[in-house]
C-alpha cells in the first residue's frame, strides 16, 4: 500500500517545489504541535507524566515522519491518526497525513483514513474533554475541519489528474501529427513514383523504338538515319526535362509547374504515330479539342491512362493498331477506352511487372473512378477507365 504515486516524468523543477511544499507542511504541523505544548504548560495535565512524555515524543516524531509522506502516504495516514488518540501534539501531523492521502490515493482510501482520524480525535476528546468548550462545538469543528482538508486534497488531486491528462493528450496529438506527416510524405513519394513511371516509361519506349530502328536499318539513307538520331536526341532531352518537372512538383508551389491535361492526348498520339504505332482517336466527348472542359484531375488521369497504354503497346504489342475512345458528358461520367489489336510480331518476353496498371488503378480510385483491363476476344488488350464528370 505504500510507495510512490507514479513513475511519470515530472516537469523540470517539480522536485524542488515538492520539497518546498513538504517543508511548509512540516512547519504548519510543528506550529500546531507547539501551540498544543503551550496550552499543556498553561493548564494542569490530567494524566500521568509518562503519557505527557509520550504525547510530545509522538508529536516530534510525527512531524519528522512527514518528510516521507509522499513515499508512504497510507502508512503515515494510519499511524499518525492512531497516535492522535492519545497525543494532542501529533494532531497537526495527522491532519497533514490525511491531506496527503486525499491528494495521492483513491477516494476509498481517503474515506477510510478520514474515518480513522475522526475516531481517534473523538476518542481523545472523550478521554480528555475541553472544560471550557461544549462537546458539540468541539466535535463540529473536528468534523468540518476534516471535511475541508479532504475536499482540498481531492480537488488538488483532480486538478493534477486534469493537467496530466492534458499533457498526455498533447503528446498524443504530437505523435499523431508526426504520423500524419510521415503518411503524407509516403503518399507524396508514391505519387512521385507513379509520375516518374508514367513519364519515363513513355519517353524511354519511344527511345527504344527509334534506337532499334537506327540500329537495324543498316541500308537506310543518311537522311533517314539522321532523322532517327534526331528523334532519339529530342526524346532523350524531353525525358530529362519531364523528369525535372516531376521532381520539381514536390519542391514548387501547387500550380507553378504545368502538368499535362487531356488536351495533350493529341501530342501523345502524334508521337506514337511517328514511332510507327497506328493510333485512331475517337473523342465523342470533345475534351481533347476543348469543346468541353474536363476538370484538371480527371483530365490528367485520362492523359496518364492513354500514355501508359501506348507505352505498353510499344513494349508488348509492337506494330499493333490502337483505338482510343473517349465518351461522356458533364454531370455524369467520362470514359476512356484504349484497345489494341493482336500483335503481328509479339516480343520474346511479353510479360511485365504490372506496376503501370496498378498505378492507373490507384489513380482512378483517388478520383472516385474505376479501371478495368483484360484481353479481348481477338487476342488484343483492352483498358477502360470510368471517372466522374462534375456538371
**pLDDT for 180-227, tens place per residue?**
877 766 776 666 666 666 666 666 666 666 666 666 666 667 777 777
Q: Given a cut of 90, is residue 383 above it in pLDDT?
A: yes
CB under 8 Å to 191, separation ≥6 — which residues? none
pLDDT tens-digit profile of 336-347? 999 998 877 666
Residues in a beta bridge with 386: 335, 370
CATH, domain 261-391, list 3.50.50.60, 2.50.20.10, 3.30.565.10, 3.40.50.11540? 3.30.565.10
Q: Which of 365, 359, 298 is nearest to 334 (CA)?
A: 298
Considering Cα of 49, then 53, then 58, then 60, what sign does the dihedral take?
positive
Contacts with 123 (C-beta within 8 Å, 6 or more apart), sequence order:
85
Tell me which DSSP letter residue 48 carries: -
Taking the C-alpha atoms of residue 3 and residue 70, their distance in angstroms, rounded to an integer, is: 8
State the pLDDT confidence band at 3, using cuts at 50, 70 and 90.
very low
- For CATH 3.30.565.10, list the domain ranges present in the chain: 261-391
Cell output for 170: 498533447
Q: Are 359 and 194 in contact (CB under 8 A)?
A: yes
Q: Is the pLDDT of residue 56 over 90?
A: no
The arrangement of strands across the sheet holding 333-340 comes to 279-283, 322-328, 333-340, 381-388, 370-375
User: What does the pLDDT look like over 123-173, one tens digit per residue?
Assistant: 877 777 776 677 777 788 878 888 888 888 888 888 888 888 888 888 888
Q: How large is the C-alpha radius of gyration of the chain?
A: 43
What is the predicted pLDDT for the residue at 327?
93
CA-CA distances (angstroms) from residue 97 to 22, 214, 289, 332, 366? Answer: 11, 95, 86, 75, 63
Using the structure block, give the residue that is written with the C-alpha cell 486534469: 162
Q: What is the pLDDT of residue 254?
A: 45
User: Helix axis angle, 14-42 relative to 91-104, nearest 10°?
Assistant: 150
| 3-state SS, residue 121 | helix
| DSSP letter (8 states) at residue 375 | E
Listed residue (210, 233, 314) closest to 269, CA to CA: 314
Cell 456538371 appears where?
391
Amino acid at each position: 500500500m505504500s510507495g510512490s504515486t507514479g513513475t511519470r516524468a515530472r516537469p523540470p523543477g517539480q522536485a524542488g517545489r515538492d520539497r518546498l511544499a513538504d517543508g511548509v507542511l512540516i512547519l504548519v504541523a510543528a506550529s500546531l504541535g507547539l501551540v498544543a505544548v503551550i496550552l499543556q504548560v498553561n493548564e494542569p495535565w490530567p494524566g500521568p507524566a509518562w503519557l505527557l512524555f509520550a504525547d510530545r515524543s509522538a508529536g516530534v516524531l510525527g512531524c519528522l515522519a512527514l518528510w516521507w509522506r509522499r513515499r508512504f502516504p497510507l502508512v503515515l495516514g494510519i499511524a499518525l491518526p492512531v497516535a492522535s488518540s492519545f497525543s494532542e501534539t501529533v494532531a497537526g501531523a495527522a491532519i497533514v497525513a490525511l491531506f496527503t492521502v486525499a491528494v495521492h490515493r483513491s477516494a476509498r482510501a481517503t474515506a477510510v483514513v478520514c474515518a480513522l482520524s475522526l475516531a481517534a480525535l473523538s476518542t481523545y476528546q472523550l478521554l480528555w474533554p475541553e472544560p471550557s468548550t461544549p462537546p458539540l462545538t468541539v466535535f463540529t469543528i473536528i468534523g468540518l475541519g476534516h471535511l475541508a482538508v479532504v475536499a482540498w486534497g481531492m480537488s488538488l488531486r483532480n486538478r493534477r489528474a486534469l493537467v496530466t491528462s492534458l499533457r498526455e493528450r498533447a503528446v498524443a496529438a504530437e505523435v499523431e501529427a508526426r504520423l500524419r506527416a510521415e503518411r503524407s510524405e509516403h503518399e507524396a513519394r508514391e505519387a512521385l513514383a507513379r509520375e516518374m513511371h508514367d513519364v519515363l516509361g513513355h519517353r524511354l519506349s519511344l527511345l527504344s523504338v527509334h534506337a532499334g530502328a537506327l540500329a537495324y536499318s543498316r541500308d537506310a539513307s543518311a537522311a533517314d538515319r539522321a532523322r532517327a538520331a534526331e528523334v532519339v536526341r529530342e526524346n532523350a532531352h524531353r525525358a530529362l526535362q519531364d523528369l525535372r518537372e516531376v521532381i520539381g512538383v514536390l519542391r514548387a508551389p501547387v500550380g507553378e509547374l504545368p502538368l499535362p491535361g487531356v488536351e495533350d492526348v493529341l501530342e501523345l498520339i502524334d508521337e506514337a504515330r511517328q514511332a510507327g504505332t497506328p493510333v485512331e482517336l475517337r473523342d465523342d466527348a470533345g475534351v481533347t479539342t476543348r469543346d468541353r472542359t474536363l476538370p484538371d484531375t480527371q483530365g490528367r488521369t485520362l492523359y496518364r491512362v492513354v500514355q501508359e497504354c501506348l507505352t505498353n503497346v510499344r513494349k508488348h504489342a509492337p506494330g499493333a493498331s490502337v483505338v482510343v475512345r473517349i465518351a461522356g458528358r458533364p454531370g455524369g461520367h467520362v470514359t476512356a477506352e484504349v484497345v489494341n489489336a493482336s500483335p503481328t510480331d509479339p516480343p520474346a518476353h511479353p510479360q511485365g511487372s504490372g506496376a503501370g496498371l496498378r498505378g492507373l488503378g490507384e489513380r482512378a480510385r483517388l478520383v472516385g473512378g474505376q479501371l478495368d483491363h483484360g484481353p479481348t476476344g481477338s487476342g488484343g488488350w483492352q483498358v477502360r477507365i470510368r471517372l466522374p464528370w462534375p456538371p
